[in-house]
Chain A
Amino acid sequence: MKDYGFFAIILTGIFTNNYILSKFLGICPFLGVSKKTKTAVGMSLAVIFVMVMATAATYPLNTFLDKHDLSYLQTIVFILVIATLVQFVEITLRKFIPSLYSALGIYLPLITTNCAILGVTILNIDEQLSYGQSLVNAVACGLGYLVAMVMFSGVRERLESAEIPKFLKGLPSTLVAASLVSLSFLGFTGLVEGIFG
């Protein structure tokens, strides 16, 4: 993934390594807030926004921690920075960009404990991406999140009116539907290697 450049990172993030459908990160909002397309889009946009901000903030911090041999503090520092950042972003948006706040603000507190955010910051470092690549990766993973959320909200709207066997009603049918959506994304395996390899 490192050698292919930005376009490959974007394709990987959206299709082959989709955070929801193949890495199981951020499942709670995926199941909880995907009933309507509108909420799904709002939530995903907030996720993209915070993912990029969090990556931008944690990457330099990690370099600092590594330099001083403090890398065992990674988890605790990252989660605190993300929590603070989300609060800070919320306050700033409310004060200066109220229109954006009214669109994204209500989703922000939900995002602090979203594993996709902490996941993207840790994975960027585990995969030894550069700063630029990390930021692109954050955008790509966020876009992948958006694609999965929007697709699945469409599926769920259809599911509401569908006739479902009694024992699968409710959450089980949602999970089985998610399984089928995820199966379709399995078809993208090898896409990036195929184009760039």
Chain B
Amino acid sequence: MADKKKPLYKEFTKGLIKENPVLRLVLGTCPTLAVTTSVESAIGMGLSASFVLICSNIVISALRKLIPDKVRIPCYIVVIASFTTIVQMLVKAFLPDIDKQLGVYLPLIVVNCIIFGRAEAYAGKNRVIASAVDGVGMGVGFTIALFLMGAVREFFGSGAFYGHKIFPESMPAMTVFILAPGGFFVFGLLMACANKLAEKKGVPKAELKGCEACPMAQSCKIALIDKEKCEENTVKEATAE
């Protein structure tokens, strides 16, 4: 994994487009759908998650030789949860409006698959600087995806951009876009656009990889049996007895 010849800027840029955590790897879907009702909360979420991601990447990477392999998952959870608590306190103290908008999703950064996935796939195996850069790239990629979602949903749903009205009051906005169905719909269309671009570049479409993308894959029996056929195996195992 640790490719020392690879220049650092590539670690950064891969998170933006080629391996964008939301649009290419399909990770962290819950916050992507939940907090993108406005640009402001989308950026707030993106930056908070990025902060946790960068810090936890640095700490986990620095401790990677100290953490025994068998208990690495609880260790990662503690590190990530600590930084999530720090972010929670900072946001509560300095940005109370954002705190209200994010609500329960702020503490839920701790179970964000992107952060856990990066710890497992990258920070636990690579040098500190590379891990930090990887965290920055993935964080920015996540924020960009959230920003796109937020911009589209706020534009159609409340006729505004970053709180500034664009449409006149006489034109009613399509409120459904800031409700739950709009979230799924905009995400679906954004995904279709990302797939279209990917097709042009000749790279495979983004697909839910099921177990492979899941950060728990290593400890999970379904994934251990056969990564590709995990769903079929799940059924077989479930009906075995």
A interface, CB within 8 angstroms of B: 21-28, 31-33, 35-36, 38-39, 42, 72-76, 79-80, 83, 98-99, 102-103, 105-107, 109-110, 112-115, 118-119, 122-123, 126, 167-168, 170-176, 178-180, 182-183, 185-186
**Pairs across A and B, CB under 8 Å, 27 listed:** A23-B34, A24-B180, A25-B30, A31-B26, A35-B231, A39-B238, A42-B234, A76-B84, A76-B85, A80-B77, A83-B73, A105-B221, A106-B221, A106-B234, A110-B222, A118-B111, A119-B104, A168-B188, A172-B188, A175-B187, A175-B191, A176-B185, A179-B181, A179-B184, A179-B185, A186-B179, A186-B180
Chain B residue with Cβ nearest A39: B234
Residue in B88, B110, B113, B195 whose beta carbon sits within 8 Å of that of A79 in the complex:
B110
Query: Are A173 and B219 in touch, CB under 8 angstroms?
Result: no
Residue in B104, B196, B221, B238 whose beta carbon sits within 8 Å of that of A42 in the complex:
B238
Query: Are B30 and A26 in touch, CB under 8 angstroms?
Result: yes
Query: Are B85 and A72 in touch, CB under 8 angstroms?
Result: yes
User: How many Å from the CB of A66 to the closest CB on chain B?
Assistant: 16
User: How many Å from the CB of A172 to the closest CB on chain B?
Assistant: 4
**Which residues of the other chain, B, contact A168 by a CB distance below 8 angstroms?**
188, 192
Query: Are A115 and B184 in touch, CB under 8 angstroms?
Result: no
**Which residues of the other chain, A, contact B81 by a CB distance below 8 angstroms?**
75-76, 79-80
Chain B residue with Cβ nearest A32: B210
Residue in B30, B85, B110, B113 whose beta carbon sits within 8 Å of that of A73 in the complex:
B85
Residue in A114, A123, A185 whose beta carbon sits within 8 Å of that of B104 in the complex:
A123
Which stretch (B43-51, B140-148, B201-209) binds chain A?
B201-209
B interface, CB within 8 angstroms of A: 26, 29-30, 33-34, 73-74, 77-78, 81-82, 84-85, 88-89, 103-104, 107-108, 110-113, 116, 176, 179-185, 187-189, 191-192, 195-196, 205-208, 210-211, 213-216, 219-222, 231, 234-235, 237-241
Q: How far is the CA of A98 from the CA of B240 in the complex (A)?
A: 12
Chain A residue with Cβ nearest B26: A171
**Which residues of the other chain, A, contact B34 by a CB distance below 8 angstroms?**
23-25
**Which residues of the other chain, B, contact A105 by a CB distance below 8 angstroms?**
221
User: How many Å from the CB of B161 to the closest CB on chain A?
Assistant: 23
**Which residues of the other chain, A, contact B192 by a CB distance below 8 angstroms?**
167-168, 172
Query: Are B241 and A102 in touch, CB under 8 angstroms?
Result: yes
Given contacts A103-B238, A106-B237, contact A27 B30 (CB under 8 A): yes
**Which residues of the other chain, A, contact B33 by a CB distance below 8 angstroms?**
24, 27
